[in-house]
Amino acid sequence: TKKLTDKVALVTGGSRGLGAAIAKRLADDGATVALTYTSSPQKADEVVLAIKAAGGQALALRADSANVEAVKNAVAETVKAFGRIDILVNNAGVGAFALIDEFSLDDFDRLIAVNVKGVFVATQEAVRHMGEGGRIIMIGSVNSDIMPIAGGSVYALTKGAIASFTRGLARDLGPRGITVNNIQPGPIDTDMNPADGTFADRMKSITALQRYGRSEEVADMVSYLASAEASFVTGANLKIDGGFAA
């Protein structure tokens, strides 16, 4: 049997980029997967169809992470469809980059709403349905520890919040046998940070490996943390950054 057989996973922001690769990988490992999206129903459907074509079970749910009721509803729909939640991957996230003098309050509020409050709400709701062996996996960023370019202060702030939240949550949930870990990727080739984008050469040159990472490489780490193999890993902030912070 596969290592996540009989497990139910909820992946936020699973329609594109890292989240899509994570959803597919967890399904390959045998998990039943619910994924959320906000603006790309077609992309979300494509991920679901790919999982089903490979013999897995999946469900796409529209839920803007900035909308508390929508996030609560996505957790409820997942439980209604699949009976429980064993693995929550808090992946949905947004970026906004500007120097402090020009950073708008609207962008500040949006980044906090999606990257921080959305993670809090999804986690609070999901753990109500999670038992011994449960897994909370955050997708933070190496930028919580190192922000080598100007304009990223608020993005870094939100990812720093996730790193701290992870430590505290691990203490809350440890006695219940639930682990909480934060994956901190460096530059990964996605729509958010394309390997041929404006910052790409700069980003590449900062990594030790001199390249972008692939979403599947991050999904490999999620797969490990979600599995029984990672049973003694909790409260950890784990970089997967090609040596960006080395």
Judged by CB under 6 A, the chain residues 205 through 244 that form the site for ligand NDP are: none
Judged by CB under 6 A, the chain residues 162 through 191 that form the site for ligand NDP are: 185, 187-188, 190-191
Single residue of 32, 91, 123, 234 touching ligand NDP by CB under 6 A: 91
Decide whether 13 or 134 has the Cβ nearer to ligand NDP: 13
Binding mask 24-53 for ligand NDP (x = CB under 6 A): ------------xxxxx--x----------
Least separation in angstroms between residue 176's CB and ligand NDP is: 25
Decide whether 133 or 195 has the Cβ nearer to ligand NDP: 195
Binding mask 109-128 for ligand NDP (x = CB under 6 A): -----x--------------
| HEC letters along the chain | CCCCCCCEEEECCCCCHHHHHHHHHHHHCCCEEEEEECCCHHHHHHHHHHHHHCCCCEEEEECCCCCHHHHHHHHHHHHHHHCCCCEEEECCCCCCCCCHHHCCHHHHHHHHHHHHHHHHHHHHHHHCCCCCCCEEEEECCHHHCCCCCCCCHHHHHHHHHHHHHHHHHHHHHHHHCCEEEEEEECCECCCCCCCCCCCHHHHHHHCCCCCCECHHHHHHHHHHHHCHHHCCCCCCEEEECCCCCC
- The verdict on 139 binding ligand NDP (CB under 6 A) reads yes
- How many residues bind to ligand NDP according to rule CB under 6 A? 31
The residues that are catalytic are 155
Binding site for ligand NDP (CB under 6 A): 12-19, 36-40, 43, 64-66, 91-94, 114, 139, 141, 185, 187-188, 190-193
